[in-house]
Structure 1
């Protein structure tokens, strides 16, 4: 199966699993997806994740986080930069997500970072997604 946007697929799987109240979701693994999961865990949007080796590319198992075991912590997870329309920003043009309640995840020369970290470091990059 040919997938044109693996990051959007990951975000959709996480969104759907949260709405269905699943405790975990399995996603085909890649270095970018592992980095994205690392940022989501650091920001408190997911409990944890682990990479499971298989004979192919590996599986990224993401453990979702819920409020009172009912409502997912992630209210909205949205892809911003898409294969058909990339979105790049300078450090001074990075906007806050939901007045600072959410985060934007950027792909920079220093790896994947949040909008706040990118502003502090004074670097811009490609806005992959927003989460709140």
Structure 2
């Protein structure tokens, strides 16, 4: 499930290193929810569904003054070491100038959305 998400993250990161305007990735439901979070937070310009059978995403990358908008992608959880946080533990976390993505039983959400929806979950990714 999350392999396609990690592949998409690698494509976005490598695309920004070589300063591409867009990258193409296979369409998956988890990737769509992750792209919605990136778009809401302003890390990408947007995405659209394309391809002959409408099974690919075209992700438009965003730059500021010629530098990529996403500086680093840090994986917090690993298959061998999962880190789960309850709602009370999430309130103690601060994400200054970064985006913390949490995998919950309702899907992927940012830290602020998890606080609003009163959800805990697995810390997944930190984007700076």
Q: Mark yes or no: TM-score above 0.5.
A: yes
Pick which of 79-88 and 25-34 moved more: 79-88
Q: 1:4 offset after TM fit, Å?
A: 7.4
In structure 1, the gaps of 5 or more residues are none
Whole-angstrom distance in 2 between the partners of 1:52 and 1:38: 16
Equivalent of 1:103 in 93, 99, 103:
99
RMSD of aligned alpha carbons: 2.0
- Residue 62 of structure 1 is matched in structure 2 by 59
* CA displacement, residues 18-42 of structure 1 (integer Å, 9 cap, x when unaligned): 1111110111110000110000000
- Residue 131 of structure 1 is matched in structure 2 by 127
- What's the TM-score once normalised by structure 1's chain length? 0.83
Change (3 A) 1:86 1:60: farther
- Residue 110 of structure 2 is matched in structure 1 by 114
**Count of aligned positions:** 126
Q: 1:14 offset after TM fit, Å?
A: 0.7
The answer to whether residue 75 in structure 2 is matched with residue 79 in structure 1 is: yes
Equivalent of 2:85 in 65, 83, 89:
89
* CA displacement, residues 1-56 of structure 1 (integer Å, 9 cap, x when unaligned): xx97222111111111111111101111100001100000000000000122444x
Say which SS state the counterpart of residue 71 (structure 2) adopts: coil
- Residue 49 of structure 2 is matched in structure 1 by 51
